[in-house]
Structure 1
Amino acid sequence: MFNSIITFGGAYAVILFIIIDFIRYRSKNLFKRAILYSFLFYLLFVADRTIGYLFFPPFEDTYLSFQLIPFYFVRDILFFEVGSWYFWNTIKLSFYNLIMLAPLGVYLSLLFDVRSMKKAVLIIFSVSFFIEVYQLVFTYFGLTLTRTFNVDDLILNTLGGVIAFIIFRKIKQYYHLYFKPTKVQS
């Protein structure tokens, strides 16, 4: 279920927010608010997947790990024997990193109406960078097992989010082009 008290508590906070928001606004802008609720749960999911277990009291013997070589995952894929556990683990982790921020690309276009590609890339990259930094900070203070600051994660997270942003933006353009709302005259 939830790996950490942060995401567990966050889930309760989001549910409480939804209840209060629904009581307050009933069905006013319900579709947009439902998208906002799904975005909040998505943020909790990302936090849950990226924080891992939190340990109290903290570990005393932790070390910081960095992987600063871009596209190192490609070397891993080519180096490991096809079909080995290491090969498939590299494929799996690369795929997860590619899709993890893809929903953020959709939310940027759908919920926050971001239209600029540069702005979307900057936001997605910033979120990915923030994730890598807080993993490093939690590791430094011994709150999590060793997490690696990985440049490949930044690249794949950003790439996945940007691809999703572009695809969803094209879908929105297609929708507005062919399904323009018609006004009913009375």
Structure 2
Amino acid sequence: MDYLINFIILVLIYFLFFYKKWNKKPKKTLIINTLMYTYIVMVLFVTLMPLPIPFLNGTNNLFLETVNLIPFRDLRLNYYGAVREIFLNIIMMIPFGFLYPIIRKVGILKTVTVVFLFSLTIESTQLLSAFWGGLASRSFDVTDLITNTFGGLVGYLFFSTLKPIIFKILNEQ
């Protein structure tokens, strides 16, 4: 039920704020922006949903114990699933690194910085969620920041390789 409520809120946000604005622009702009919005919603569903209602379940005073500030600790300690998680984090951010420079027409530094900030926001929200008594499986992990940012860089490199073709398609009437 919590997922359904979160989904309805995100759909309402799309139609009340973004669709009206983007629909006034060329259809290709509407499509690429909607694609980015849908992608971000999917990332939020994988990483944050359902969002807990702050302080409803009380607070978790041990939430800082879930923080990992040692890069690639899980990999070095041979934790089960560490390699899989690294690859999934990289893959998860490739679309962001690919789509963001198309929408904003920015370079590599700005794209990678925004990917890092997006990832930092997710990780910080996971930490707050743990504090608010949300899902115990969510935690702040510096490895996620590194691998997400790298994924955004890979996405940007795909974009830069295909840039002439992308802008040719987008600029055709």
The TM-score, its normalising length taken from structure 1, stands at 0.74
- Whichever of the two has the greater Rg, that structure is 1
Q: Which runs of 5+ in 2 are unaligned?
A: none
Q: Which runs of 5+ in 1 are unaligned?
A: 81-85
Paired residues, number:
167
- Show the 5 A alignment for 1:63-102: 63-64=62-63, 65-76=66-77, 79=78, 86=80, 89-102=81-94
SS at match of 2:118: helix
What is the CA–CA distance in structure 1 between the aligned matches of 2:134 and 2:3, rounded to whole Å? 12
Contact 2:52 2:129 in 1 (8 A): no
Q: 1:122 to 1:11 in 2, by over 3 A?
A: same
What is the CA–CA distance in structure 2 between the aligned matches of 1:127 and 1:19, rounded to whole Å? 22
From 140, 143, 155, give the equivalent of 2:131. 140
> In the TM superposition, what whole-angstrom CA distance separates every residue of 1:114-157 from its partner, at most 9, and x where no partner exists?
12x22222111111111111111121122333521101000100
- Show the 5 A alignment for 1:26-105: 28-55=25-52, 57-61=56-60, 63-64=62-63, 65-76=66-77, 79=78, 86=80, 89-105=81-97
In the other structure, the counterpart of 1:122 is 113
Q: Which runs of 4+ in 1 moved over 6 A?
A: none
What is the CA–CA distance in structure 1 between the aligned matches of 2:132 and 2:121, rounded to whole Å? 16
Q: Measure how far apart 1:58 and its partner are.
A: 2.1
